[in-house]
Structures are given as C-alpha cells and as structure tokens.
A and B are shown apart, each in its own frame.
Chain A
C-alpha cells in the first residue's frame, strides 16, 4: 500500500524518493493529527519531523568547543587590540 498524494511516480522513478514503512495505526494517527495544519500529506509531516529531530540530535552530539586554548588566546589578544573587548 502506498501513499499516493505526495509525489508523482515520475519523481520516484527518477530515484529522488525512497520509501519507509510505518505501521498503519501510526500512519492513521498522523493523518488525523495533521488535518488542517498545513501539512498536506503524512510523508511531508514525516520529512519535517525527521529533519527537525536529526538536526537537533546531530547538534547535541557535538562537543561544545572546537577551538584550542592556544587559538583562543591568540584571538582574544586580537579582539582586545581591535577594541572589541
């Protein structure tokens, strides 16, 4: 069973889209949930949520500072000279 309201077959044949299967119960709940929200299909909603979640998880994984102490000192010196701090 395919959700046919999202993208034309031609797009899929071009290899632009791929499918992920989710339980029909979940599908129906989402379909109900997105009524009158601006999302026009379950696929569109899934895309939105995945991007939001993945981006925030990728960010969390990152270490807070990627700048070495030495580099930081050099930059702070420059900023001081320019009058920024």
Chain B
C-alpha cells in the first residue's frame, strides 16, 4: 500500500494546483470541496474549449447525466492522456428544458455518449450532428433513467 500512497502524494498537489489555476482563469466556476468543478451551462463551451486547448485535457473520458427531480446534472470527466490528472465537471440544467451545448465539436468521443444520455434521460444536446435514440427503440416514449419513470416490474 506504500507505493500507491507515494504515487498519490506526488499527484495530489499537482491536481490541486491545476484546479486552482482553472478557478483563477474562470471565476464563474465553483470548485467544490471534493474537487468537482461546477460550471454554469452558459459558459460551458468556452470553459471546455479552454480546458482542452490551454490546459491540455485532451481526452473526454465520460459523459453522463443525473436526474434530481428539481433539476438535472450533466457530468463530464476529462483527463490528460498519459497522466493521472482528471477533472470532474458538473453542469446544472433545467429539468423542464434540458438543453446543453454538445461537446462533439471538441471531442468526437461525445458522439455516442450524448446520444445515450438523450435516449435514457432526454437531455437535448444542441448542435449534435446525429441526435437519435441509440439503445432503445426509435418508437419508445419517455426516457427511462429519469427518476419518475414508471416501469412494469416483475419483482419487488
């Protein structure tokens, strides 16, 4: 276990420095205690472009969304290829009008992940080149990963 803590001893301060730098460059970002970046939806594209082009976060690892009934969060995880540093970016959006700019122009990897989120949670990604359902049938109604979705269950 010593080795792993050695590794994190080196990486953690760097990670903190990166977060501080980002917060300094973008005052609208709110950095939480756990190191998550809360970005307002209006400045998302600008922030993401800056992170990619100036901070070197060239790899969009994960995109997903969570439904909190009053609002929704879209979550992005970025990393730098070949390094351990990761960013966890949270964007709060309106649940009744769930619209976020698409990240496909910046990272092609968002192509299918955003389709999946649209499919399962109904988040609309503007300027996505091909926003269709991906896992469910094209004729499916509603978005099953929303918390108020009712489904026929065989048990419990």
A binds B: no
- Residues of chain A touching chain B, judged by Cβ–Cβ distance below 8 Å, are none
